């Protein structure tokens, strides 16, 4: 296995491929994404360990969505069984994926705990005092405005802290599943793969930001033409979920173009 260094414009190509794959099989991708979200929701109800288990399954789910994209790329229908591809491999790969998932869950939960400690929960208290209703009068309350700014700072802190986690785990599940890379090495190779192609990934993320903005703007325009703002409010969630599914569909191209298999490379050492 060796790393590929791609030009910045490849990031835009990844976005286009994600969109194309999704619209080739929109119901299949949406179904796979919904199944995982529903399963995570049910698991989350488990006391104490529910949230941890849900997060720990994210790397395996990522492999499942990448396998679905790979199937669509090959002209095949993405069967539901692909969602558990990571657990249908060898026992060694399954153990490695579970270990990777546990590491991911631990990292995310540490961020949640840290940012929660940095928040005083004032916004929730103020909104609860208003009966949970967000009104123009509520938004003009200086205390609510300050609490919203504090909440925004908390969200930004969480985003900054999550960025290195995202880099470490971006390619790690695929490296473990398709290249038999050990867990620790997969995290290292993932980080190197992203950083060496940083320009392409910046274009990639900016591309998805533009797709999101265009979709939301189109939704607002439709609501404006029909004169019903409730349409925008009701459509925001499904549109956001659809875009999230498209992003998941584009993960396979990012991995495929960042790494290539070397049939002579049997010692799991990448030439980076």
Q: What is the pLDDT of residues 160-210, one digit of tens each?
A: 899 999 999 999 999 999 999 999 999 999 999 999 999 999 999 999 999
Predicted local distance difference test score (pLDDT) of residue 263: 43
pLDDT tens readout for residues 19-31 = 999 999 999 999 9
Domain count along the chain = 1
Structural domain for 167, as ranges: 2-257
CA 134/CA 125 separation, integer angstroms = 13
pTM of structure? 0.84
- Is the pLDDT at 270 greater than 60? The verdict is no
Quick one: average pLDDT of 229-250? 87
Q: 3: which strand partners? A: 259
> What are 2's strand-pairing partners?
260, 271
| pLDDT tens-digit map of 97-114 | 999 999 999 999 999 888
CB atoms within 10 A of CB 167: 19
> Between residues 5 and 142, which one has the greater pLDDT?
5
Label residue 91 exposed, middle or buried (CB < 10 Å: 0-12, 13-18, 19+): exposed
Quote the pLDDT of residue 148.
67
Q: What is the pLDDT of residues 42-70, one digit of tens each?
A: 998 888 888 999 999 999 999 999 999 99
Radius of gyration over alpha carbons of the chain, in Å?
21
Cβ atoms of residues 179 and 266 within 8 Å: no
Distance CA 252, CA 9 (A): 17
Residue 29 lies in a domain: yes
In this prediction, residue 269 has a pLDDT band, given cuts at 50, 70 and 90, of very low
Indicate whether 45 belongs to any domain: yes
Q: How far apart are CA 205 and CA 65, in angstroms?
A: 18
Per-residue confidence band for 116, with pLDDT thresholds at 50, 70 and 90: confident
Residue 112 lies in a domain: yes
Examine residue 238 and state whether it is found in any structural domain, yes or no: yes
- Of 201, 198, 205, 176, nearest to 189 by C-alpha is 176
- Domain-located, residue 179: yes
Q: Is there a contact between 97 and 107 (Cβ–Cβ < 8 Å)?
A: no
Task: Indicate whether 47 belongs to any domain.
Answer: yes
Per the DSSP assignment, residues forming a β-bridge with 260 are 2
Residue 271 maps to a domain = no
Q: Examine residue 272 and state whether it is found in any structural domain, yes or no.
A: no
| Alpha-carbon span 240 to 206, nearest angstrom | 16
């Amino acid at each position: 296995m060796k790393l590929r260094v791609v030009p910045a414009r490849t990031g835009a190509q990844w976005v286009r491929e994600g969109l194309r794959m999704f619209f080739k099989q929109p119901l299949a991708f949406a179904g796979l994404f919904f199944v995982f979200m529903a399963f995570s929701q049910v698991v989350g109800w488990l006391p104490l360990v529910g949230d941890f288990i849900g997060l720990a399954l994210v790397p395996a789910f990522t492999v499942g969505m990448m396998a679905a994209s790979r199937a669509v790329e090959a002209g095949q229908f993405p069967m539901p069984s692909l969602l558990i591809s990571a657990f249908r491999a060898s026992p060694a790969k399954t153990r490695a994926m579970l270990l990777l998932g546990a590491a991911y869950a631990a990292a995310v939960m540490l961020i949640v705990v840290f940012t929660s400690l940095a928040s005083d929960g004032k916004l929730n208290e103020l909104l609860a005092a208003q009966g949970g209703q967000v009104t123009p009068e509520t938004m003009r309350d200086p205390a609510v405005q300050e609490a919203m700014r504090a909440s925004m700072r908390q969200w930004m802190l969480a985003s900054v802290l999550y960025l290195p986690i995202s880099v470490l785990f971006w390619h790690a599940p695929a490296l473990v599943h398709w290249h038999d890379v050990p867990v620790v090495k997969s995290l290292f190779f993932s980080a190197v793969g992203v950083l060496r192609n940083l320009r392409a990934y910046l274009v990639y993320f900016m591309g998805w930001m533009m797709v999101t903005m265009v979709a939301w703007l189109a939704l607002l325009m439709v609501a404006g033409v029909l004169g019903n703002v409730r349409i925008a409010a009701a459509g925001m969630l499904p549109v956001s979920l659809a875009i999230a599914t498209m992003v998941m569909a584009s993960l396979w191209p990012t991995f495929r173009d960042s790494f290539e298999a070397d049939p002579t490379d049997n010692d799991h050492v990448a030439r980076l």
